[in-house]
Structure 1
Amino acid sequence: MSVSYVERPDGRIAYEVLGAGPLVVLSHGMGENRASWRHLVPLLVAAGYRVAAVDVRGHGESTVGWPTYAPAEVGGDLLAVVDELGGPAVLVGSSSSAAAVVFAAAEGPERVAGIVLIGAFVEPPKANPAMRLAQALVLRSPRLFGMFHRTLFPVTRPADDAAYRRAMVANLREHGRMAAVRGVIDQVEPHWTARAREVRQPVLVLMGTRDPDFRDPGAEARAARRLFGTAEARMIDDSGHYPHADQPERTAEQLSAFLKVSTGA
């Protein structure tokens, strides 16, 4: 399937659509691209869904040079994709994009049937001076980012993980890509947690039990769940920060159960 684009005031957003049925829009995390969902997409398509995998602004085949990469604006991009394809849609956000789907649900309730947060950060990660220096280096080097990305799979990796990472790093070497990565983690207000209580749609929080980004992934999932009026929190066993990549079948099972309820299909 060829890539499509939706025009935005400051650039264009790339996405790819497969399948037929209720719409599900997938949004990847910092530094990645829509291929992050390559193992989950065919499972959702087989389950009867139309699936759009999006390149977040500044990533993949989306344009660079945006004035902001704030999650509220990324949420607006996702709503633009929904409008282009015809919604409503369930929005699935991984890592940094988990914040974006909350903003989208709050801003466009009639266009969003439900949201899924995978590996969401309830509090901004805290780091000592040494860690901050290491982070600054990683966020300026595609090669170091690729090395860091590898650590987020502490249990198992997809068979094509090395090839995916090489392609990801090559994409990050393009002009403006690492600036977008840095922009994703800039601290901006309001934080997504301030908008969570406005979300009235069904919410699912997914977390890998071995996610190395959190001291206690289960506690983080429960903390995220409590921010919403009603939400579910489910754990994916033996999974790291990207359960849709290292445990796609188990992730698809959890998502399919949620999608049946939120889409009525």
Structure 2
Amino acid sequence: MMTTQVQMLERADGAIAYESAGSGPLVLCVPGMGDLRASYRHLVPGLVAAGYRVVTTDLRGHGDSTTTFSGYGDEGTADDIAALLDHLGSPAVVVGNSMGASAAIITAAKRPELVTGLVLLGPFGRNPEMSRIMASVMRAATAAPWVATVWKAYLPSLYKGAKPADHAEYTASLIAALRRPGYAAAFSRTTRLNHDAVERVLPAVQTPSLVLMGELDPDFPDPRAEAEWLAGALGGTATMVPDAGHYPQSQRADLVVPAVVEFLTTAAHRG
């Protein structure tokens, strides 16, 4: 795993952690809810070797970012992406997983000059179908006092298919990070997600886009149909990743790295 110095971007009510590796055209990687920037640990080396500067960031209230933010969710994360790209002084291809993909879409719609391409991994382009009863159960299960325990129990179901070799070690570090003072409460607030804002801005997105969806992603009743719907809405392409659930960037980096590099070469940084 590549390691670099963690840097902090100060925002009005908190600070966002990020780190950078490599040189060349910029790629910004944004993890999903309840995850860490190290979710991209198997993707970064391949992109750096292909000639890109890769910046990975933690969501507000996650990882090394602070828990002092007044709000959490897609739109706040989109604002953080825009602020980070402004700070870095360069437009970028934004790689987003899950909620990070949702935020990346919003950024591309609102600040198109900052986003030269979108790589969307297990993305939410709209709210998933969920009964009111299930929504109430999920809200209760993700209350701050026990959210770390619930997330630890639930996380294995999101990794259907192949597991990275360091899966146990990474999961342990993720849960340990979540159990630090203040982080469970921030995560709990993040789980109160609503993706309506994402679906509203889809028609405004003009940037090239690639949707990469795990064939076994349990967050969607029909992962292929969801991937094709979102790719169609964005005028992009959809690629299914076999033997992968919600985290194809770590589960099948052997397939995701070449797919992303090809996209960067042919779509986002052509000419």
Compute the TM-score of the two structures, normalised by the length of structure 1: 0.94
2:155 match: 149
1:9 match: 12
Deviation at 1:130, TM superposition (A): 5.5
Q: 1:81 to 1:173 in 2, by over 3 A?
A: same
2:243 match: 238
Mapped pair 1:136 → 2:135: no
Q: 2:263 corresponds to which letter in structure 1?
A: F
The 5 Å alignment of 1:57-206 reads 57-125=60-128, 126-127=130-131, 129=133, 132-133=136-137, 136-138=140-142, 140-188=146-194, 190-206=196-212
SS of structure 1 residue aligned to 2:165: coil
Please tell me whether the aligned partners of residues 96 and 185 of structure 1 are also in contact (alpha carbons under 8 angstroms): no
SS of structure 2 residue aligned to 1:39: coil
Deviation at 1:225, TM superposition (A): 1.4
In structure 2, the gaps of 5 or more residues are none
Q: Within 1, Cα distance between the matches of 2:79 and 2:269? A: 21
Please tell me whether the aligned partners of residues 96 and 184 of structure 1 are also in contact (alpha carbons under 8 angstroms): no
Q: 1:135 to 1:163 in 2, by over 3 A?
A: farther
Mapped pair 1:255 → 2:225: no
Greater mean deviation of Cα atoms: 113-122 or 238-247: 113-122
Greater mean deviation of Cα atoms: 21-30 or 120-129: 120-129
Name the Cα RMSD after superposition. Answer: 1.7
Task: Select the structure that is richer in helix.
Answer: 2
Q: 2:171 corresponds to which letter in structure 1?
A: R
Q: Within 2, Cα distance between the matches of 1:36 and 1:81? A: 19
Q: Within 2, Cα distance between the matches of 1:27 and 1:96? A: 9
Residues 147-178 of structure 1 show CA distances to partners (whole Å, capped at 9, x for unaligned) of: 21111111111111111111100110112222
Q: 1:148 to 1:86 in 2, by over 3 A?
A: same
Q: Within 2, Cα distance between the matches of 1:207 and 1:187? A: 20
Please tell me whether the aligned partners of residues 40 and 250 of structure 2 are also in contact (alpha carbons under 8 angstroms): yes
Deviation at 1:181, TM superposition (A): 2.1
Q: 1:128 to 1:32 in 2, by over 3 A?
A: same
Q: Within 1, Cα distance between the matches of 2:193 and 2:6? A: 31
Deviation at 1:131, TM superposition (A): 6.8
Q: Percent identity?
A: 39
Q: Please point out which of 40, 55, 59 is paired with 1:56.
A: 59
Please tell me whether the aligned partners of residues 74 and 193 of structure 2 are also in contact (alpha carbons under 8 angstroms): no
Q: Within 1, Cα distance between the matches of 2:134 and 2:264? A: 42
SS of structure 2 residue aligned to 1:16: strand
SS of structure 1 residue aligned to 2:264: helix
1:213 match: 219
SS of structure 2 residue aligned to 1:115: strand
Deviation at 1:135, TM superposition (A): 5.5
Q: 1:123 to 1:85 in 2, by over 3 A?
A: closer
Please tell me whether the aligned partners of residues 142 and 191 of structure 2 are also in contact (alpha carbons under 8 angstroms): no
> Where do 4+ consecutive residues of structure 1 move more than 4 Å?
187-190
Q: 2:237 corresponds to which letter in structure 1?
A: E
Q: 1:138 to 1:67 in 2, by over 3 A?
A: closer
Deviation at 1:137, TM superposition (A): 1.9
Greater mean deviation of Cα atoms: 7-16 or 83-92: 83-92
In structure 1, the gaps of 5 or more residues are none
SS of structure 2 residue aligned to 1:195: helix
SS of structure 1 residue aligned to 2:61: coil
Q: 1:235 corresponds to which letter in structure 2?
A: M
Q: 1:144 to 1:103 in 2, by over 3 A?
A: same
Q: 1:151 to 1:64 in 2, by over 3 A?
A: same
Deviation at 1:121, TM superposition (A): 2.2
Please tell me whether the aligned partners of residues 43 and 249 of structure 1 are also in contact (alpha carbons under 8 angstroms): no
Q: Within 1, Cα distance between the matches of 2:238 and 2:110? A: 23
